[in-house]
Amino acid sequence: MYPLAYIDTSRTNFLTWTLNTMLVAVIATGISLLLGSMLAYPLARMRFRGGALLAIAETGSRRLQRRPAAEHGTPRV
């Protein structure tokens, strides 16, 4: 009746694709957390020349990120 609306997952590798996607996501998250924490620790604990300027620049860059129109309360065009 609706040939394109239904996909028979028994004839595809859907489970394999899903597990591969989850594996990549978990590994990427772990690497990101590991490297991020290794970089953040010395930036937070050590005193070095330009450290205050780096903190201000990082905080400022977070403030200036573009938000989707829905968060501003304006309708999308």
Contact 32, 38 (CB under 8 A): no
Average pLDDT over residues 51-58: 85
In a domain, 2, yes or no: no
C-alpha–C-alpha distance, residues 47 and 41, integer Å: 12
Q: Tell me what the mean pLDDT of segment 46-57 comes to.
A: 85
Q: Residue 54: which domain range? A: 9-72
Query: Is residue 52 situated within a structural domain?
Result: yes
Confidence of residue 22 (pLDDT cuts 50, 70, 90): very high
The answer to the question of residue 62 being in a domain is yes
77 lies in some domain: no
pTM of the model: 0.55
Distances, alpha carbon 1 to alpha carbons 5, 10, 11, 13, in Å: 9, 19, 19, 24
- Rounded CA-CA distance 22/54 in Å is 35
In a domain, 4, yes or no: no
Query: Is residue 28 situated within a structural domain?
Result: yes
- Residue pair 76/70 in contact (Cβ under 8 Å)? The answer is yes
